Structure 1
């Protein structure tokens, strides 16, 4: 049984300048980032590289139309390395540009194109949430299909994952909150996955501990308490990425995708909407096993009884983002059946990682409970 795989070589630097010097960034590199990140941290070094600003191609979650437009713009550019500097959108999009053939993007996600990686790939996160720098997963909204899909193939692994805490210093609190909640849910979902091992659990539980204790400091001292803890949150996100990159995420992520795709809700926030509803159902269906270990661990950190952990964790997360019912995002009751069908027919990759089996009717009932 495979216990653990960590494909990228992981590096840490305190400052961007150290990274630029050590990796000898130059004319053979394609940098994909945001204009704000580039101007704030990299422009002053006069890097001789090809630079793509992702927001030129649209706002919100990454999608297939965005990737096709970038493909068109860089078709005549020669590059040997792709350097992604950004949050989940940048990282997920950039992975595809290490492949020899990307377009048509829908064919790529349908596995109709051959996966050949012919460029080196360097991933640098600027949020503390996705863990995408250490996974082989790229998630896009496919506009014509009105849903998100994940592509998971080994050719999407980075060669290098680079942690630079300096890049988080200007991260607004809202984005810190949504991204770090995403990392927490990565850790929690992967800890109860059927694919979890003692190795992946080690990363899952350490990530949970670091994130929740950081949240407790924010609860006591306010949003600025996060600043001295940014390196911890960045590492916790990376640990959670290693965990779910091996063990996988499940129904929380699968059920969040229709909300995110149809109502443009940030990924971490849409996960939070689903999180406790899914785990309360897991608890009701299969109270013994890995969830018992999880609840005992969470109860110790949250100083509460095991049966109260999902109430207590929701109260703590509400300090960062107040949880809203689905109806407040504009979702109609009729759409809950559509959401359910989308999950059951399009998210098999994720639903295979559920702690216990969730039927179509159970998924619908979870949506109803969150409405």
Structure 2
């Protein structure tokens, strides 16, 4: 067994109605003025107001920034960071999916260390702890509440830059399954498959360890056994709880094992064509799994058994069975079959491939990959 390391530096509250503990958490952190980062969609359906009321009822002041968009940009980060400094807040609450949490992490960096978020692009360039942050996910998919990365779009380069540092891990996470029970079916599907991919890629990563494997396998069990039921009926409390916990465990897994070609390739797809992150990942997964099958050492069968329907006894497993099972899952959930269906154009494949190769996830992929391989994978997924 090779050497590995991990730590569990966060405080995580899980359970139906656990949002009510937010004032207690803020007071424990001696926060008298909190900066709430979220988006207009959650404001429109009343989720932001619910959090604001809970904060206010706890006797704590707040300032809100609600202009986060999918695939948030450096301009969004700069705008939010300026408001944070101006209002005098001492902590951050990030409410939403990965976009809100990515912005919150970036604001936390700039609030303490200044400059531009591009100054911290890459691995381990954040010099120390960021502003105390409480993450409240409203989707079961990103795992951002327990991951050490923030992904921000630099529009000047049409590029999704990544800041990776364990210093940007949120200090707290509040996981209330009630928050994901109002999601539209399409969002629940794309985010759910994204969470499953986090676990799959971490499990197949060359950096996988017994710790990350334990998290990934439990995540696959919970998500694989509940994703279809949750998309079918988001009011299903058991399925919602399983998805929320599974997404969290998948996030912990890839925080320590990294991901692979699926995520490396999906970021340029989102940057150039504005395809939602979860949708891009879901489309790419079967193609990348087929490519990585050459490197399989028995783990494909483990994954297959977590996600397949039925309990029939297998008479010999082949890696292509997993690929077909993923295709069937995507079809059941209404995920587009190809990148072309999502609006991706072939002429930008060379540029996307160059950007994908800059990702820190490429070296973690189980099969070695060069830029020509990535271009061919894009063409197959197209």
Of 84, 95, 101 in structure 2, the residue corresponding to residue 85 of structure 1 is 95
* Other structure's SS at 1:141 match: strand
Higher mean alpha-carbon deviation, 101-110 vs 249-258, is at 101-110
* Other structure's SS at 2:332 match: coil
List alignment gaps of at least 5 residues for structure 2. Answer: none
Mapping of 1:136-285 within 5 angstroms? 136-217=148-229, 222-224=232-234, 226-283=236-293, 285=294
Compared CA separation, residues 168 and 295, structure 1 to 2 (3 A): closer
Compared CA separation, residues 342 and 91, structure 1 to 2 (3 A): same
Compared CA separation, residues 340 and 176, structure 1 to 2 (3 A): same
Q: Pairwise CA RMSD of aligned residues?
A: 2.5
**Cα separation, 1, equivalents of 2:87 and 2:229:** 47
Compared CA separation, residues 225 and 361, structure 1 to 2 (3 A): same
Higher mean alpha-carbon deviation, 89-98 vs 244-253, is at 89-98
Of 40, 51, 57 in structure 1, the residue corresponding to residue 63 of structure 2 is 51
- TM-score (normalizing by structure 2): 0.87
1:31, 1:84 within 8 Å by CA — same for their partners in 2? yes
Q: CA deviation at 1:295?
A: 4.3
The aligned residue for residue 297 of structure 2 is: 288
The aligned residue for residue 4 of structure 1 is: 6
**Cα separation, 1, equivalents of 2:299 and 2:263:** 19
| 1:310 matched to 2:312 | no
List alignment gaps of at least 5 residues for structure 1. Answer: none
1:64, 1:140 within 8 Å by CA — same for their partners in 2? yes
2:202, 2:254 within 8 Å by CA — same for their partners in 1? yes
Mapping of 1:19-98 within 5 angstroms? 19-24=21-26, 27-34=32-39, 35=43, 36-43=46-53, 46-47=56-57, 48-55=60-67, 59-98=69-108
Q: CA deviation at 1:79?
A: 2.2
Compared CA separation, residues 16 and 365, structure 1 to 2 (3 A): same
**Cα separation, 2, equivalents of 1:30 and 1:41:** 12
Q: CA deviation at 1:87?
A: 0.8
Q: CA deviation at 1:326?
A: 1.9
| 1:159-204: CA deviation from partner (whole Å, max 9, x where unpaired) | 1122112222222222211111110000000001011112211111
| 1:205-234: CA deviation from partner (whole Å, max 9, x where unpaired) | 111121121134358xx3457454111110
* Other structure's SS at 2:87 match: coil
1:13, 1:19 within 8 Å by CA — same for their partners in 2? no
Compared CA separation, residues 191 and 287, structure 1 to 2 (3 A): closer
**Cα separation, 1, equivalents of 2:260 and 2:12:** 26
